[in-house]
Amino acid sequence: MTNSTGTTTSDSTIVDGVHYHQFDIVIVGAGGAGMRAAIEAGPGAKTAVISKLYPTRSHTGAAQGGMAAALANVEEDSWEWHTFDTVKGGDYLVDQDAAEILAKEAIDAVIDLENMGLPFNRTPEGKIDQRRFGGHTRDHGKAPVRRACYAADRTGHMILQTLFQNCVKLGINFFNEFYVLDVVMTEVDGVEQPSGVVAYELSTGDLHVFQSKAIIFATGGFGKIYKTTSNAHTLTGDGVGIIWRKKLPLEDMEFFQFHPTGLAGLGILLTEGARGEGAILRNASGERFMERYAPTIKDLAPRDIVARCMVQEVAEGRGAGPHKDYVLLDCTHLGAEVLETKLPDITEFARTYLGVDPVVEPVPVMPTAHYAMGGIPTNVAAEVLRDNTTVVPGLYAAGECACVSVHGSNRLGTNSLLDINVFGKRAGRNAVEYVKGVDFTPLPEDPTKEIRELIAQLRSATGTERVSVLRKELQDNMDRNAQVFRTDESLADVTEIIHGLRERYLGISVQDKGKRYNTDLLEAIELGFLLDLAEVVVFSARNRKESRGGHMRDDYPKRDDENYMKHTMAYLSGDPHSANPADHIRLDWKPVVITRYEPMERKY
């Protein structure tokens, strides 16, 4: 058969209007992690990639600055230094065995991409060029180091295109514009394990069941719980939400990264690569204020630190603009040639969206919700965990939707593009080995029942609440109460608001009753996931009474290693519509893996 975008796919059978497919491995999500997994899995097993977008529209394409690897092409470097920076940057909540794997396998990950045809920027000698990035240092923090491999400020775009071209070369089966709404679980010997997924085909409204031996989730983040975000409209946490509703745990959901340099008022990202090339953050008086906060590496401190410093400058009256509500990113001294050749996208973004030319004037910036450190818990083999140690057979996750805890409480810049390649590869490779030794798990009698009922209920609903109104209220209140700075009072306020929105969500109506490209219906389903995940983020944040990485509590401003040097594990239990989240969210803890770096004070 041929899917909605013309990509050739396997034959299917149709039973009672539902399309049934069978693949050894099904990958949910066609961004960087999903396609890297597919390149590894495709040659060894019958593989399908299911994506609600055409693959090259995935959010990986928005990543700008670079991909870290201790190649030492420009300056002396080592994987040990990269590991230390990752651990320290994550405020010591990083699982250090995962960080060591990330740093060691980074070099091969970059070389893999180069061999696939990715056009990295080059040194005059023809080697892959590298530039500075926040938190990356030599000799365990003594000075900044050039570690970020890059392709201008379009690195993610280049990675996405390169991976897609190689998937096409390998003949990977793509089901594009198919929206996965459920993972089918079957009980085997008293233990539930995945037997397939249910997807909604956007072009027809038909349901498809993909039976498989292994499933890899690579669905990205959920930044759309916030109003001011660098995330695309599609990043609504569908994969993470599906796992949550199956009563599997989520890890470290309180930790969300706010990237320092979003265009003020819009959240559109300006890469940290600009500061890597020498751009400077200034307050209204023109002061390079990061010299006060991080005297060694200044503007290249980790993102959580820079974001807090920016907000503090504004809060203390040193903000710029007519309302004194932003700071300035000064690129003017870099010159037109550097901006047009090494940073062309951010230059164009500033001109297009703010009417500011970075060549001659500073750009207004403020922190924007950027990256979820938490998500679906996995081990270093990318296997999804049912609890702290028990693996769910045949279920994998990689990329932003996963939490192997290589990022701890604050992801180091350029480690995200690295993460999707290292752990996407591991997920694909390990899934192939797994499917060689197992048979297909039988599907339940009616695998689409829950999703059919959900869609029917939304289509027939006659309520008065509008999805767009509820979504806006959620995002506005998350920005107001659970962003860079948080308190028990602000988190309690947004908890009550989320409960009210969940109640009102029961009274929504979908205006479009049709089947073909019914985005009204899909946005209603997405809002359900956003409400679920926002509640887990806030409940976990309220429970962690300390400040660490991307989680800054004004009422508990110190890091508390004695009580909170551990990961939060959240489990869905009880009635999800109860007013008190404690009635349906159970929190537990998971120890941090420490191998060589004991927690210490975080100075830059």
Q: Is 51 annotated as a binding residue?
A: yes
Q: Is 395 annotated as a binding residue?
A: no
Q: Is 564 annotated as a binding residue?
A: no
Q: Is 398 annotated as a binding residue?
A: no
Q: Based on the residue annotation, tell me whether 303 is a catalytic residue of this protein.
A: yes
Q: Is 411 annotated as a binding residue?
A: yes
Rounded to whole angstroms, how far apart are CA atoms 553 and 556? 5
Query: Of the listed 303, 386, 426, 548, which one is catalytic?
Result: 303
Query: Within 10 Å of residue 206's Cβ, how many Cβ atoms?
Result: 15
The CB-side HSE value for 136 (13 A sphere, CA atoms) comes to 31
Alpha helices in 90-151 (DSSP H): 96-116
Q: Structure tokens of 362?
A: 């500073």
Rounded to whole angstroms, how far apart are CA atoms 34 and 281? 35
CB 279 within 8 A of CB 300: no
Q: Is 249 annotated as a binding residue?
A: no
Q: Is 82 annotated as a binding residue?
A: no
Rounded to whole angstroms, how far apart are CA atoms 597 and 407? 15
Q: Structure tokens of 46?
A: 């019958």
Rounded to whole angstroms, how far apart are CA atoms 107 and 68? 9
Q: Is 33 annotated as a binding residue?
A: yes
- 3-state percent breakdown (helix, strand, coil) of the chain, nearest 5: 35, 25, 40
Q: What is the SS3 assignment for 582?
A: helix
Q: Is 62 annotated as a binding residue?
A: yes
CA 386 to the chain's CA centroid: 21
Q: Is 582 annotated as a binding residue?
A: no
Q: Is 32 annotated as a binding residue?
A: yes
Q: Is 374 annotated as a binding residue?
A: no
Rounded to whole angstroms, how far apart are CA atoms 88 and 107? 20
Rounded to whole angstroms, how far apart are CA atoms 357 and 411? 30
> Residue 376 pairs with which residues in a beta bridge?
402
The H or E element containing residue 521 is helix 519-543
Q: Is 425 annotated as a binding residue?
A: no
Q: Is 60 annotated as a binding residue?
A: yes
Q: Is 58 annotated as a binding residue?
A: yes
Q: Is 155 annotated as a binding residue?
A: no
Rg (CA), the chain: 23
Q: Is 400 annotated as a binding residue?
A: yes
Q: Is 66 annotated as a binding residue?
A: yes
The size of the chain, in residues, is 604
The H or E element containing residue 180 is strand 178-188
Q: Is 52 annotated as a binding residue?
A: yes
Q: Is 540 annotated as a binding residue?
A: no
Q: Structure tokens of 275?
A: 């500061």
Q: Is 542 annotated as a binding residue?
A: no
Rounded to whole angstroms, how far apart are CA atoms 549 and 559? 9
Sort strands 191-201 and 178-188 into parallel, antiparallel or unpaired. Answer: antiparallel
Sort strands 391-397 and 402-403 into parallel, antiparallel or unpaired. Answer: unpaired
Q: Is 370 annotated as a binding residue?
A: yes
Q: What is the SS3 assignment for 118?
A: coil
Q: Is 428 annotated as a binding residue?
A: no
Q: Structure tokens of 573?
A: 């239990």
Q: Is 568 annotated as a binding residue?
A: no
Q: Is 500 annotated as a binding residue?
A: no
CA 353 to the chain's CA centroid: 24
Query: Within 10 Å of residue 604's Cβ, how many Cβ atoms?
Result: 21
List the binding residues: 29-34, 51-66, 238, 259, 271, 370, 400, 411, 416-417
List the binding residues for substrate: 259, 271, 370, 411
List the binding residues for FAD: 29-34, 51-66, 238, 400, 416-417
Residues acting as catalytic residues:
303
